[in-house]
Amino acid sequence: MTLLSTLVARADQRAGYSYAFLDEHTKRELRRRTLKAVAIPGHQVAFGSREMPLARGWGTGGVQLTLSLVGPGDAVKVIDQGDDASMNAVNVRALVSRTTGVRTTRDTAEATLIQTRHRIPDDRLRPGAIVVLQVPFPEPLRLVEPSDAVTRRMHAERDYAKMWLYLYENIARYGRIALSYRYPCMVDGTVLMDPTPIPRHDVAKLHQSQHLHLFGAGREQRVYAVPPYTDVTPLDFEDHPFEVEQAGAACVRCGSDTSYRTEIPGHGWLCSDTAYCDTRSPA
């Protein structure tokens, strides 16, 4: 009851808006859906996605998950492309902060709740931290089959032959698998999952992770999860093993040659995880 009265008091501070924007029933329903998702790793659970004050496709699923979970004691970190200062991250952080008043942080080791688009931090997370990923395409089979009615049946029958064939045909045509990000992975050896447009570099971070990873697709109205200590294995072949991206050079700022780096034309390669790069660079 103490917690509830805190929430009500906070809601009163923001005239006209509930704590964490969404009404309590919506958040509870979303947490129920999330629990189901955790219970069936990788399985897409439908939820009644709400309109948010962000454009559809700009992180409304992730933000609904974050808002359904965030409590007064949390420290929230929001990144886009690994960058806390990226414009969309600034906007999402402002929404969370304005409607909850909770503390926000850029420090990966301090955050209890991390909402992210396209990356999983390169730094070690705080024990118990939850990672919320924004999902444009919850359906990994969308690459090979446009219909949702058909892909649901394929999942029910564990029929992933079309995806295997697609990868095989890539090799036959191009000599390599052409998939770049959004690399399809088997979860717990049973369900095929889209890990969101994280680079292939980040896929290994999902495997046997200590952390709960939640995936929210607002436009597509789906939530799914990888619970801690779950197998996440990218699809590959014995003679064509899974490959991660190769950066052109070490980070020009911190010198890291293990982080995920992106190119800045005319300047070289830089860590995409800015908080990680900051901790390694002289101020």
| Catalytic residue list | 42, 251, 254, 271, 277
Q: Is 23 in the site for another protein (CB under 8 A)?
A: no
Smallest gap from Cβ 142 to another protein, in A, equals 4
Give the phi and the psi of residue 223 in degrees, each rounded to 5.
-130, 140
- Tell me the per-residue interface mask from 46 to 65 with another protein, x by CB under 8 A, - otherwise: -------xxx----------
Smallest gap from Cβ 18 to another protein, in A, equals 14
How many residues touch another protein under the rule CB under 8 A: the total is 38
Query: What are residue 224's DSSP bridge partners?
Result: 215
Q: Is 75 in the site for another protein (CB under 8 A)?
A: no
Q: Is 160 in the site for another protein (CB under 8 A)?
A: no
Q: Is 146 in the site for another protein (CB under 8 A)?
A: yes
Strand extents, DSSP E, the chain: 45-46, 75-80, 103-104, 113-117, 130-134, 185-187, 191-193, 212-217, 222-226, 232-234, 261-264, 268-271
Contact residue for another protein among 67, 68, 76, 83 (CB under 8 A): 83
Report yes or no: 254 and 280 within 8 Å, Cβ to Cβ: yes
Give the phi and the psi of residue 118 in degrees, each rounded to 5.
75, 0
d(CA 278, CA 100): 27
Q: Could you tell me which residues come within 8 angstroms of residue 125 by beta carbon, excluding any fewer than 6 positions away?
A: 108, 109, 111, 114, 131, 210, 211
d(CA 169, CA 183): 16
Q: Are strands 222-226 and 45-46 parallel, antiparallel or unpaired?
A: antiparallel
Q: Which of residues 262-281 bind another protein (CB under 8 A)?
A: 262-267, 270, 272
Q: Is 248 in the site for another protein (CB under 8 A)?
A: no
**Interhelix angle for 60-69 vs 87-100, to 10°?**
30
Q: Is 95 in the site for another protein (CB under 8 A)?
A: yes
Q: Is 165 in the site for another protein (CB under 8 A)?
A: yes
Contact residue for another protein among 142, 207, 240, 280 (CB under 8 A): 142
Q: Is 25 in the site for another protein (CB under 8 A)?
A: no
Smallest gap from Cβ 200 to another protein, in A, equals 14
41/184 with CB nearer another protein:
184
39/178 with CB nearer another protein:
178
Q: Is 249 in the site for another protein (CB under 8 A)?
A: no
Cα–Cα nearest to 78, from 107, 99, 52, 38: 107
Contacts to another protein by CB under 8 A: 53-55, 81, 83, 87-88, 90-91, 94-95, 98, 137, 139, 142-146, 162, 165-166, 169-170, 173-176, 178, 180, 262-267, 270, 272
